[in-house]
Chain A
Amino acid sequence: MSIQDQVIRILAEQAVLEPSDVTMDSTLEDLGIDSMGVVESIFAIEEVFDISVPFNANQPADSDFDISSVASIVAGIKRLKAEQG
């Protein structure tokens, strides 16, 4: 499964939606994922991709990981995987 498909699966499960309802342009807010849901989704991403995501719920905008859309999350994961080597 591609990174994109895996992220969509994680977010769809969190939002209790079908993966087909989640697009690359969706924001977490569009999907109805609240702040606790965000923290759980990031935990799932870390587990699935074996990475550590720099995310502080107090200042999501200042975190070094952009969660503004599915696309930005996918890009962030690719970067972290690349940094991991």
Chain B
Amino acid sequence: MKRVVITGAGTINALGLNVPDTMAAMQNGRCGIGKLEFRDVERLSIQIGGQVKNFPPPERYNRQQLSLYDRFTQFTLDAAEQAISQSGLVFSGELSAKAGVVLGTAGGGVSTWDDNYRAVYEEGKNRVHPFVVPKLMNNAAASHVSMEHNLKGPSFTVSTACASSNHAMAQAFAMVRSGMAPAMVTGGSESMLCFGGVKAWEGLRVMSRDACRPFSANRNGMVQGEGAGIFVFEEYEHARARGADILCEVAGFAMTSDASDIVTPSKAGAARAMKGALQDAQINADQVGYINAHGTGTAANDKTECAAVADVFGPHADRLMISSTKSMHGHLIGGTGAVELLACIMALRDGVIAPTIGYQEPDPECALDVVPNEARDAKVSIVLSNAFAFGGLNAVIALRKV
């Protein structure tokens, strides 16, 4: 089996339009959540989110591109450009033939659906733009990345709600590890911050009206975000041979299914996924220094996740750090694991643990070191990134310092 490393990273999210700005915001515990701005927002009872502002800049995409690129594709293309450019890879010849792109999204072109339903239902129009279908399809972003960067290997989109990008990255990792592809572009993207997207979430009654406060006793729900995180996963020797800057190693992963409930999380399913990732990476539980939590800020997730961590790590659960950066960038649904991977890279590479901000009151059911409110300097060599989706589908990735 081959070793797999990350040689490029890119992002667009509420904290920043690139990786350095996002990491700086995480380090400073800055909150990217604010008042939502879009049509009909006044008809929503939830009016906050981690919305990406000032993107795309004027002329970033031309008129023809905008007729094909939903916002989730725009985020993806920009983040992919950043990641591939950082990696220094140019996809041509055999590399181009074997390298592909596997991305996660839960909703795909949600605002394209929303805009066009509004046009035909509310405004009574009988005609929509000819490219509505290729614009909204869940694989649009992956396809445009493949076209833009000449990626001709295995390419597809994974959709497992809030675990989509972790499932996608696990898939890309498996492909590089097996020798099937020398490099893969992977990650995820989401853009549900439009009237219909937020209205649907309101219905579940799990959204907070004021802030995302994971693990805090007074937490009152999740806050949605939007954006993308894209990475270049590359075979270790391939990266070394060309002198690439290695951000960290992807050490292993595991996926599990709760097979129990469509929305309520299961401690056992989450614990099996974390344990499986440790086994796959051949890591002892006490080597893990930091976990980037799923940490949605809902009553159900946070206590279940903490109980699962306690189960898997035993006494070491009290020594490791676990934080939820959703408190800063919101929950990016299908793109969330990808943006959260940046906090893992920052922990391994820079020795800075991103905080859980908005933390106000300890909760005995979440009695772990959640790195409250302020980032911490700490040397860690192994980290985990958790994602637990509606539908009971879990994916955990283990990363190692190189």
Name A's B-contacting residues (CB within 8 A).
35-36, 39, 42-43, 52, 55-59, 62
Contacts and interface: CB of A to CB of B under 8 A. Distances in A.
Interface string B241-264: 000000000000000000000011
Contact of A56 (B203, B221, B263, B264): B221
Contacts of B299: 57-59
Contacts of A39: 203-205
Q: Is the interface of B mostly helix, strand, loop or mixed?
A: loop
Given A36-B263, A55-B205, A56-B221, 9 more contacts: A39-B203, A39-B205, A43-B203, A57-B204, A57-B205, A57-B299, A58-B221, A58-B299, A59-B220
Contacts, number: 31
Contacts of B300: 58
Contact of A57 (B45, B206, B219): B206
Interface residues of B, number: 14
7 contacts: A35-B264, A36-B264, A39-B204, A55-B205, A57-B205, A58-B220, A59-B220
B298 interface: yes
A42 B45 CA distance: 15
A73 to B, nearest CB: 15
A58 B206 contact: yes
Interface in B197-219: 203-206, 208, 219
B205 A42 contact: yes
Nearest to A53: B205
Contact of A58 (B45, B219, B263, B264): B219
Nearest to B297: A58
Contact of A52 (B45, B204, B263): B45
A34 to B, nearest CB: 9
B220 A56 contact: yes
B45 A56 contact: no
A43 B202 CA distance: 11
Nearest to B203: A43
Interface string B291-319: 00000001110000000000000000000
Contacts of A43: 203
A35 to B, nearest CB: 7
Contacts of B208: 56, 58
A51 to B, nearest CB: 13
Contacts of B220: 56, 58-59, 62
B220 to A, nearest CB: 5
A9 to B, nearest CB: 22
Nearest to A38: B205
Contacts of B221: 56-58
A42 B205 CA distance: 10
Nearest to B204: A39
